[in-house]
């Protein structure tokens, strides 16, 4: 059984061609074994919780198999978030009915278009409906926004869960995403590192989780690194955009797309490891072939969340990425290298987006190719520190002591460590904790 589920602002009609192609190719044994899912995505009252509950009911009403690993699921774009939310809400890894999970251009860690979709132009272009004019599914777009708390929390429930969801014995997940943008009028949506709608880095389900602790000892911050508990296969496909990779708009454009989809829908526990390695090699070759084009550089989506030692969100902060002068006798006392720091800020950090619902979550789109050229190839180190407001030295009551050069330490990432810390075509979640302070006058006792 194969279930096909569409993305935001789409319908199942767009995927009849894909389903019919897979039947004709012998991937699925006849149309009776294909189910096309439909859900409402352009209603401002609907949430991802609603969609997960509705999917669970529709699954049972249509009598789709519920046995462990009994159904293959193919999704496009937002459909990946809907299915992942449903799996982790209503199932456990040991009872999940999904076996193979093929994601075409998924928005696993958001889309740069989501917050733009709520603009007037987005409403006119995508949201007009006779029943509810100018609605675009605002709650869905909130979850789709870059650095959303929804995608952060979802990753904690499956990618970094204690019990692995993905890999042999569990869900055999494959992510495919294009590296070409749209043409014509739609090209206005294009930005480097995307397929026109989602970033290559935010599509990749595999991620890393890092904790920076500036709260225990601000002068000596610590770093901890966590890899996913499972593994998903991933490939970037040259020539495809957000639509053509799903065989829409006269796609596919690449001769590799359909064969890889077929492989993903036939992979087994025994062959999955080799399959994932083959896609990794395919991705490396594709990236090398495209690296001369800035649009297709390797980028990392770095999602930062900052909170204080009480667990409260810190929404007014600046994350600093800088270099230091290499000729100091004591590197820890070295002053910032203004030239290198300027190059990092201008060339490596391409965009920064603060989440509109909670600005303590931010997405930094880092150009890995430029980082290699500027920092790694010159065997330089990258330093990370943070400045937050309110400044206790100004308020004289409560706040953070981070503004002065000696107020707070920095995390040092050597050139060797940077190769692990910043990688192309993936997301890294960075959880930062800083110390909130209070002056003595905020609360005191006095005698009678």
Tokens of 272: 């999955």
Tokens of 261: 């989809």
For residue 390, give the DSSP letter.
Answer: S
**44 to 62, 148, 264: CA distances (angstroms):** 26, 17, 34
Closest CA to 81 of 35, 127, 48, 44: 48
pLDDT of residue 333: 64
Q: Comparing 2-205+227-296 with 299-437, is the CATH topology the same?
A: no
pLDDT in tens, the chain (448 residues): 999 999 998 999 999 999 999 999 999 998 889 999 999 998 999 999 999 999 999 999 999 999 999 999 999 999 999 999 999 999 999 999 999 999 999 999 999 988 875 553 344 344 444 455 557 789 999 999 999 999 999 999 999 999 999 999 999 999 999 999 988 877 878 899 999 999 999 999 999 999 999 999 999 999 999 999 999 999 999 999 999 999 999 999 999 999 999 999 999 999 999 999 999 999 999 988 887 788 889 999 999 999 999 999 999 999 999 999 875 545 556 778 999 999 999 999 999 999 999 999 999 999 999 999 999 999 999 999 999 999 999 999 999 999 987 899 999 999 999 999 999 999 999 999 999 999 999 999 999 9
Closest CA to 35 of 73, 66, 9: 73
Enter the pTM of the model.
0.94
pLDDT of residue 332: 59
Torsion sign across C-alpha atoms 375, 237, 176, 38: positive
Measure the CA–CA gap between 288 and 422, rounded to whole angstroms.
17
Tokens of 250: 């006269």
Tokens of 38: 């439909």
| CATH number of the structural domain 299-437 | 2.60.40
Closest CA to 4 of 134, 101, 90, 93: 101
pLDDT of residue 134: 57
pLDDT of residue 125: 43
What residue ranges do the domains of the chain occupy? 2-205+227-296, 299-437
Rg value, the chain, Cα: 23
Assigned fold of 2-205+227-296? Rossmann fold (3.40.50)
């Amino acid at each position: 059984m194969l279930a096909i589920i569409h993305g935001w602002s789409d319908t199942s009609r767009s995927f009849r061609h894909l389903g019919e192609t897979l039947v004709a190719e012998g991937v699925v044994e006849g149309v009776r074994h294909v189910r096309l899912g439909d859900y409402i995505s352009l209603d401002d009252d609907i949430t991802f919780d609603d969609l997960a509950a509705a999917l669970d009911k529709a699954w049972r009403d249509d009598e789709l198999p519920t046995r462990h690993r009994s159904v293959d699921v193919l999704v496009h774009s937002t459909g990946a978030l809907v299915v992942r939310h449903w799996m982790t809400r209503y199932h456990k890894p040991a009872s999940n009915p999904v076996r193979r999970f093929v994601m075409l251009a998924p928005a696993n860690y958001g889309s740069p278009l989501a917050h733009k979709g709520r603009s007037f132009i987005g409403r006119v272009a995508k949201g007009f409906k006779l029943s509810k004019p100018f609605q675009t599914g605002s709650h869905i777009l909130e979850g789709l926004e870059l650095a959303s708390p929804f995608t952060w929390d979802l990753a904690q429930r499956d990618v970094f869960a204690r019990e692995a969801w993905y890999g042999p014995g569990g869900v055999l997940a494959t992510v495919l995403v294009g590296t070409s943008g749209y043409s014509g009028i739609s090209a206005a949506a294009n930005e480097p590192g995307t397929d026109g709608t989602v970033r290559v880095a935010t599509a990749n389900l595999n991620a890393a989780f890092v904790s920076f602790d500036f709260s225990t000892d601000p002068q000596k911050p610590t770093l901890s690194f966590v890899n996913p508990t499972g593994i998903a296969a991933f490939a970037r496909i040259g020539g495809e955009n957000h639509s053509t990779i799903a065989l829409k708009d006269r796609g596919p454009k690449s001769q590799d797309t359909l064969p890889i989809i077929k492989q993903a829908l036939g992979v087994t526990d025994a062959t999955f490891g080799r399959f994932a390695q083959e896609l990794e090699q395919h991705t490396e070759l594709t990236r090398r072939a495209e690296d001369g084009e800035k649009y297709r550089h390797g980028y990392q989506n770095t999602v930062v969340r900052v909170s204080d030692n009480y667990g409260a969100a810190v929404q007014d902060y600046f994350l600093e990425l800088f270099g230091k002068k290499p000729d100091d006798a004591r590197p820890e006392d070295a002053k910032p290298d203004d030239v290198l720091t300027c190059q990092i800020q201008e060339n490596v950090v391409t965009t920064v987006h603060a989440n509109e619902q909670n600005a303590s979550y931010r997405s930094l789109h880092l150009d890995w190719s430029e980082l290699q050229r500027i920092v790694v190839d010159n065997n330089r180190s990258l330093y990370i520190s943070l400045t937050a407001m309110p400044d206790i030295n100004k308020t004289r009551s409560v706040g953070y002591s981070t503004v002065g050069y000696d107020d707070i330490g920095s995390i040092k990432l050597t050139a060797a460590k940077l190769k692990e810390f910043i990688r192309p075509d993936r997301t890294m979640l960075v959880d930062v904790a800083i110390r909130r302070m209070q002056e003595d006058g905020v609360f005191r006792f006095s005698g009678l």
